[in-house]
Structure 1
Amino acid sequence: MIRIKARAPTARGAVLPTLWGAVAVGYRYGCPLARQDGLGARLFTSAVFLAVGTALILHARRALLRELRLARRAACAAQSVVLRPLPPWLDGLNVGAAQLSADRGASVGGDLYEAIATEHGVRVVMGDVRGHGLAALGTVAALLGSFREAAHDEPELGRVLHRLDRTLGRHLRERARAAHPACGVLAPDGPVAEEFVTVLLLEIDRDGTLRALNCGHPWPYVLRGTGVQPLTRTDPLPPLGPFPPPAEPAPLPCGRLLPGESLVLFTDGAEDARDGRGRFFSLPDVLSEVVRDHPASPQTVLRTVFGALLHHTGGRPADDVAVLVLRNDRKDRRPSGARGTACPADDAPLASGAARQGRRCSHPV
C-alpha cells in the first residue's frame, strides 16, 4: 500500500504568523494611537489589523498550495506506477493508450489496461472495475500486478484469466476483513461481495492471429482501411467476481490483425457517455470519421476520440474512460494468395451508432 504522509508544521513555518501576531498585539497595547477614540485613530487601527489578517491569510494560502503541489506530485508518481505508460512499440505493434478519470484531479480511476510482449505473443488486458475514481484504485493495482506476472508465466490464456480471478477474490476478502475484522469472511450481503470487474484478454501472435477471452467487457473495434467493425459479436462470459470463470475457458479465435489494421479497445465509459440531452456518445461514428480518408496512427485516434468525448460531455464525463489502440505495423510475409482472414466479424456490416446500442455491456460499472 502506498501512503502519502503529510508534513508536520515546522518552527520555520510558524515564525511569520508569530511575528505578525506580535506586531498586532504590540500595536494594540503599546501604541497610544490604538487607545484613542477618534475616527482617524479607529480607521488607522482597523487598517493595521486588516493588514495583519491579510498577511496571515496569504501566508496560510501559500503554505496550503505548497502542500497541495507536493501531494499531487506524490499522487502522480504513485498512479504512474499502478497504470504505467505503455511503450510506443511492442513487437512490431504501434501502441497508444490514454485514460480519463471521472474524479477531478485524479489521473487513474477504475479502468485498467496493460500490453506486454511475451514468448507467447503480445498479451493485452483491458478491464473496468465497478465504480470509478480513486476508490477503485486498489482493485486496479491488484489485477494489474497479477496480469504482469501471469502474462509471462502462463502458456495458456485461460490460465491467465484464472490467475486474475483468484487475485480478485483474495483482494475482496482482504477488503472485507479490513472493513469488518470481527467477521473474517466475505459476507454475502456486504458491499464488497457486490464488486465485479469486466475483463478482456487478448493474445496476438507474430502472424497477427488473434485470440480473446471476454468477461463482460465491450468488444473492441477493428479499423480496416477506411472501415470500422466490431472484432466479433459473440456474447461474452460473465464478469469476474459474482461468478467463477469456466474451469477450462477456451480462447475465442478472432482471425488475424493484418498489417496496417488497428484494434481499438475501450471501457464502457466511452459508449455510455451522454451529452446534456441524454444522447449516447457514438464511438463507431467518431472512429469512422478518423479513418474516412486514410488509416490513422494510434495517437491520432486517441486525440480525436478524447476530443470528441470531452466535447460531447461538456468536459465532465460521468465515468472513467480508457482507450487502447494497437496498430499492426509488421511487414506481411505471407504469400499473395493467402492474404485473407477468418475473423467472424469480417462478414459483418460496418458498425454504426445505431448498432452500438445492442452491444453495450448490460452491467453498470
Structure 2
Amino acid sequence: MIRTIARGGARVGASRVWRTLLLVLPGLWVAAVLLWEILSPPQAQLIQLLAAAPAIACAGTGRRSCVLLGGLCAAFALVPVGTAGRDESIGTRCGTFAAILAVVLASYLTAGRRARLQRELESARAVADAAQAVVLRPLPPRLDGLALAAGQLSASRGAAVGGDLYEVMATAHGVRVVMGDVRGHGLAAIGTVAALLGSFRDAAHEEAEFADVLRRLERALDRHHRERSRHEHPASSATDPPSPVAEDFVTVLLLEIRPDGTVHALNCGHPWPYLLTPGQAEPFAQAEPLPPLGLFPLPEKLPLTDCGQLLPGEALFLHTDGAEDARNGKGHFFPLPAALTEAAKAQPVEPRDVLRDVFTGLQHHTAGSTTDDVAILVLRNDRPALSAPLGARGCDIGGSAAGARPATTDPQSTNHL
C-alpha cells in the first residue's frame, strides 16, 4: 500500500546534483586560485581567496574535509606561489595563513552546530512520521476481498498528513469507507482529521445503521470545534465562545460495500467517486449531496444513495477536490477523467498503478507544487461473482436499459437519530 507520495524525481535529482557540486567545488576552487596566482601579473595577490575553500568544504562534505582542506590552503599561503607570491613579505604570508586558520575554525564550529541540528531534525521527523502514521495509518493491500491502494500528498512541505482523510474498515455490516476533506490544508487541519478518523473507526463497527455513522462524525466534529474554541479563548465563561473555527467544515463521503457488491453512499459535499473499468472511467453516482459537515445540522432523515453494484474486477477511485482543482502555471485544471482513462488500461485495473500514474500526472501538471492537499483511495472488487440482485447494473428492470447504474435516493433506506 502506498501511503505517502514523494514530491517527484526532479527534486531528488536536483538535490543529488547539488551535493555532487559541493563535493568537487572546494578542490576546483583551490586549483583555480593557485593557477590564477601562478599566471597572474606580479601586482595581483589572489592567494587570500583560498580562505573560502574550507568554508565551502564544511558546507558540502563535513568537518573532516574542512580541516584537511584548510590545512592544505594554509600551507599554500606560507609557500610563495608564482611571481606575486615571491614578492610578498613573510608578514603578509603569515597574515594570510592566520586568516585561513580563523576561517577553518569558524567553519568547523559552524559545521558541528549544523550536524547537531540535523540530528535533532531527523529525530523530530521520525517522531512526526510515527504520529502521522497513527492518524492516517497505512491501509492493507487487501481487505475482505477488496484490493486497496491509497496515498496522500500534503500541500505543506515536509508534512505527510494534511487536511485530507481516508479509512477502510471491514465490519459485520460490510466494508465501510470514509473519504473526507477538512477546510484548509496542512498541519493546521490535522486535529480535525484525527477527531473524525477516531470517531469513524469506532462508529463503523458499533453502528448497525449506516446513517448513524455519519451522525457520529457530526457529533465528533462539533465536540472538536467546541474544545478548540475553549482552547483559543481560555478566559471565556462556561458558554462556548464565538470563534473562527465555527466556520470550519468538512466534506465527507461514506460508502458501505456489502458482500454482494452493492454500494450505498452518504455524501456531504464531497466529490463523487469514479468507476474504473479497463480503459474507461465514469462517474459512479450523480445524486445531490448533503451540505458539508459543520455548516448546517444534518437533517432528521438521512436517505442513502443507492449506487448499484460494484462488479468483480471493477474499481472505485475516491479522491478529494485537490485532485480536480490542481492547476498548472497557465491556470488549466488537471484533466482527471482523461488521466484515469489512461491509467485504467490494465485488465484488471491495478489500484497501485492507478495511484502512481495519477500522482505522477499531478506532479507533472503542477510542476511539483500543489496548493491543496490531495488524497486518493482506489479499491477493486476481487470477490467472486454472485447472482445479481434486483436493481444491479446489467439487469433490465421495469424497462430500464441494460447496463444502467442507478444513482438515486432509496426512500426505504432512511434512518433516524
What TM-score range do you get, normalising by the shorter chain?
0.7 to 0.9
Match of 2:217 in 1: 164
TM-superposed CA distance for 1:346, in Å, is: 5.6
Query: TM (normalized to structure 2)?
Result: 0.71
Counterpart of 1:244?
A: 297
Shifted more, 205-214 versus 281-290: the winner is 281-290
Greater per-residue helix proportion: 2
Kindly indicate whether the alpha-carbon contact (under 8 Å) linking 1:226 and 1:295 is maintained by their aligned counterparts in 2: no
Contact kept in structure 2, 1:254 and 1:344, CA below 8 Å: no
Question: Structure 1 pair 198/146, CA: closer, same or farther in 2 (3 Å)?
Answer: same
Within 5 A, what are the aligned runs for 1:306-325?
306-325=359-378
Say if 1:219 and 1:232, in contact at 8 Å, map to a contact too.
Answer: yes
Match of 2:264 among 206, 211, 214: 211
TM-score normalised to the size of structure 1? 0.81
- The alpha carbon displacement at 1:235 in A equals 1.3
| Contact 2:344–2:350 under 8 Å retained in 1 | no
Partners of 2:204 and 2:213 within 8 A in 1: yes
| Partner deviation per Cα, 1:235-255 (whole Å, 9 max, x = no partner) | 110000111111231211110
Aligned residues: 313
Of 257, 260, 263, the match for 2:313:
260
Specify the alignment match of 1:195 in structure 2: 248
- Are residues 160 and 274 of structure 1, via their aligned partners in 2, closer, same or farther at CA, if it must alter by over 3 Å? same
Partner Cα distance (2:198, 2:97) in 1: 65
Structure with bigger RCO (C-alpha 8 Å, 6+ apart): 1
Corresponding position of 1:61? 114
Q: Distance in 2 between matches of 1:125 and 1:345?
A: 30
Instruction: Report if aligned partners of 2:165, 2:181 keep a CA contact under 8 Å in 1.
Output: yes
Per the TM alignment, residue 325 of structure 1 is displaced from its structure 2 partner at its CA by 0.6
1:336 and 1:113 map into 2 onto residues whose CA distance is 29
Taking the aligned partners of 2:162 and 2:210, their CA distance within structure 1 comes to: 26
**CA deviation profile, 1:95-150 (whole Å, cap 9, x unmatched):** 11011111111111000000000000000000000111111111101100000000
What is the aligned counterpart of 1:150 among 203, 224, 228? 203
- Amino acid across the alignment from 2:268: C
Aligned to 2:276: 223
Contact preservation (8 Å) 2:180, 2:270 = yes
Structure 2: which 5+ runs fail to align?
1-62, 68-89, 406-417
Unaligned runs of 5+ in 1: 1-15, 21-36, 349-365
User: Structure 1 CA distance, aligned partners of 2:401 and 2:255?
Assistant: 16
Give the 3 Å change call, closer, same or farther, for CA 97–345 of structure 1 in structure 2: farther
RMSD between aligned residues: 2.4
Contact kept, 8 Å, 1:204 with 1:210, in 2: the verdict is yes
TM-aligned CA distance change 1:79 to 1:293, over 3 Å: closer
Decide which of 168, 177, 182 is 2:230's aligned counterpart.
177
Partner secondary structure for residue 141 of structure 1: helix
Contact 2:233–2:241 under 8 Å retained in 1: no
Deviant stretches of 4+, over 6 Å: 335-339, 342-345
**Percent identity over paired residues:** 58
Secondary structure of the corresponding residue to residue 155 of structure 1: coil
Q: 2:313 touches 2:349 (CA, 8 Å); kept in 1?
A: no
